[in-house]
Amino acid sequence: MGRKKSGKYAATKFKETTQRIRDYLAEVDQAGLSDQAITWAYEAALMKTNVAFEHLMEECLIVALNNDSKPFSDATSITFPKHMTEKVCQYLVTGGKFFDYSGRGGLLGDIGKFTGGKAAKHYLYVAVQNPKYHHALELLIALRNYAAHESPQSKQTMRKAIVAYRLGITSTPDKKQLDGTNAPTAAGAWLKAQGRFGYILDRLDALADEIHQGAPY
């Protein structure tokens, strides 16, 4: 029999992964690599961080649905059984594909759909919507998308996330705030300077700690 999914276990595994990523980046920084090689190494670490975070969110949503299907029934106007297997819950969370979401706002929307969201004060929604994690999540998602696609759209989204982080605002920067700012040439080029990747990892670890504390099991 496989291990029963657990929010606490998922948070613990996430932090084990981020520690391995920190160790990897320490090796990269000490390896005497070229500037280009370091940039790409940081982007590889970014991808791994994003995958780990997606797994954390997916596991927690499966646990939430498995524990209480009523919020999802209310959100979809379809009555689901009170008790469903984890495999069925996983299918409902992922749509039979892979877990994906559109930005921090989209993630909160998905969490709300499966947990009842803000009104229900579910621990996962409360943790992810906490303003102190806002910039780390926006940067993680925007930088990852630019590293993966390098499209004009993803570059502009990354630029907005970086400017909002620099200004310390949670709203989307307006034209005046964006004037005179340029997006970095690569996601890894921005992440490898001034401890920026460390900032994102620190915030994500703190979020995982909050999830661990709030999860019932």
Question: Per-residue pLDDT for 1 more than 60?
Answer: no
203 contacts: CB under 8 Å, gap ≥ 6: 132, 133, 135, 136
pTM confidence score:
0.95
Of 154, 117, 135, the C-alpha closest to 204 is: 135
Percent of all residues in the chain with a pLDDT value above 90, rounded to a whole number: 93
Q: For residue 216, give every residue at least 6 positions away whose Cβ sits within 8 Å of its Cβ, in sequence order, or none.
A: 7, 67, 123
- Mean pLDDT in residue range 3-10: 91
Percent of the chain with pLDDT over 70: 99
**Which range, of 3-7, 178-182, 191-195, averages the lowest pLDDT?**
3-7
